[in-house]
Amino acid sequence: MSLFIANAQVITMDGESGSTPVTASIRIQDGVIAALGPDVRPEPGDVEIDGRDRLVAPGLVNAHTHSWETLFKGRFDNLPLELWMLFSYPILGNTRVDPDLVTLRSTLFAAESLKAGVTTVIDDVLETPDQDFDQLDAVVDAYDVAGIRANVSGHIINKPFVDTLPFVGELLESSLLDDVRAMPVPTTADYLDFSAEAFGRYRGRGGGRISYMVAPSGPQRCTDDLLTGATELAVAHGAECHIHVLETKTQAVTGPEFYGTTLVKHLDRIGALSANTTFAHGIWVTDEDIELIARAGVSVSHNPISNLKLGSGVLPWRQYLDAGVNLGLGSDGGSSSDSPRMLDVVKAAGLLHKISGPDYESWPTVQEVLHAATLGGARSGMLQDAVGSLEVGKRADLVIYDLKTLAFTPRNSLEKQLVYSENGGSIDYVIVDGEIVVDHGSLTTVDEEALIEEFAERRPQLQSWHDELEQLNQAFVPAFTQMHHRAQAQDIGFTRYLR
């Protein structure tokens, strides 16, 4: 199929015009942007979309999310990460999600993302207690059918969960501790074999839209040989290595407790930093950590809404950019932020750092925020040559916004209104790899009504599953609460909370 978008306002995010709209027409052929400019003409057979009163912008890249949490949307509030994880990633009970529910879950997540203008998801697929190919196949198949672009992991924790946190070994009653430590954890060899197979298995899926990435959960949650082995595998495949690093103060305390240094220095010391690496969160970093991150070319995915919801702290936005670190933006999972709507994340990123101090010249600009939401995220996923900006030769992932809407009225500044006024309600078309996946605001690839109906039918069953898991895992709450307070009371020499 070939498409022609005539005479639109276009935010290209390329090196020339950046986030400043230009008037242009766009030709798309075989999934690629074949031509873009003021004098581009249609060719016979092109399906034409009138670009007048419309804004075309690159599809949004969600640089950090977990589709698993889609099933937990809206269940929790006012819990810090470590306590929230007890319920959103339960340790005890039957947590395995069957492939048919994984399909449903992934389809819901893809559908909600696409309708919100998100064309790429970097989905750190975390199944508990562990992941198998039946489950990951279900994710990949669902994304293939939905027409979204995705990096999917391979997430792994290869230590007993209670041993990934400070003080829990002392605080948890011994029988519970023994039970959890007796649960099997995958070995480094298991994971690297799984990942090597996954790279081959998913290469080229969805016409090349889908890629596998490795995702050791975090430096405190994985053994050193796993962290270095996963990094080497990612580099060998030109793929992303996705790691959670320093999301909370508790994790900042963990570094000195476990390794006698910061978690970033530990990763550096063992050779687990690379230009293929993305840190999810990266909040509780020191100045020296930021230098190491910049030097290694590590990207950081900033997840402001999740960080606000879980009270994790505020990422040092300006320090990262001043050091030359590439930033992406992510929603994080469907429970820590309750929505994959990236335009909310874009707005939050634009706003949050303005209260970090009165030096208004250092506050995030619209150009910076939109760059992080598009090209920055694409770079973090090793997809920068394919997507993230509208340029001839790149894959055609774009969103067409109707400008005859309340959000864009009066029409003052399209780029500022895109960041601060628009919530996705103006989205007319979403195009991924040259295919129209949202047409006049409706999904073309997913039967939305049937999806909602299927979830409604399963609601009693899902509800009792949730209730049972939440009740079982209450057993950890007293020890984890004490752990949280003890970690928070430690003086680590700096803070990422606003006071």
Footprint on this chain of Zn ion (rule: CB under 5 A)? 280
Specify the residue, 280 or 345, whose C-beta has the smaller distance to Zn ion.
Answer: 280
Q: Work out how close the CB of 362 gets to Zn ion at its nearest, in angstroms, rounded to a whole number.
A: 27
Nearest position to Zn ion, beta carbon: 280
Q: Work out how close the CB of 89 gets to Zn ion at its nearest, in angstroms, rounded to a whole number.
A: 10
Q: Work out how close the CB of 332 gets to Zn ion at its nearest, in angstroms, rounded to a whole number.
A: 5
Q: Work out how close the CB of 470 gets to Zn ion at its nearest, in angstroms, rounded to a whole number.
A: 20
Q: Work out how close the CB of 303 gets to Zn ion at its nearest, in angstroms, rounded to a whole number.
A: 7
Specify the residue, 118 or 443, whose C-beta has the smaller distance to Zn ion.
Answer: 118
Q: Work out how close the CB of 305 gets to Zn ion at its nearest, in angstroms, rounded to a whole number.
A: 12
Q: Work out how close the CB of 200 gets to Zn ion at its nearest, in angstroms, rounded to a whole number.
A: 26
Specify the residue, 279 or 320, whose C-beta has the smaller distance to Zn ion.
Answer: 279
Specify the residue, 89 or 363, whose C-beta has the smaller distance to Zn ion.
Answer: 89
Specify the residue, 11 or 280, whose C-beta has the smaller distance to Zn ion.
Answer: 280
Q: Work out how close the CB of 121 gets to Zn ion at its nearest, in angstroms, rounded to a whole number.
A: 13
Specify the residue, 206 or 334, whose C-beta has the smaller distance to Zn ion.
Answer: 334
Specify the residue, 332 or 397, whose C-beta has the smaller distance to Zn ion.
Answer: 332
Specify the residue, 279 or 363, whose C-beta has the smaller distance to Zn ion.
Answer: 279
Specify the residue, 280 or 293, whose C-beta has the smaller distance to Zn ion.
Answer: 280
Backbone angles phi, psi at 279, to 5 degrees: -90, 125
Q: Work out how close the CB of 157 gets to Zn ion at its nearest, in angstroms, rounded to a whole number.
A: 12
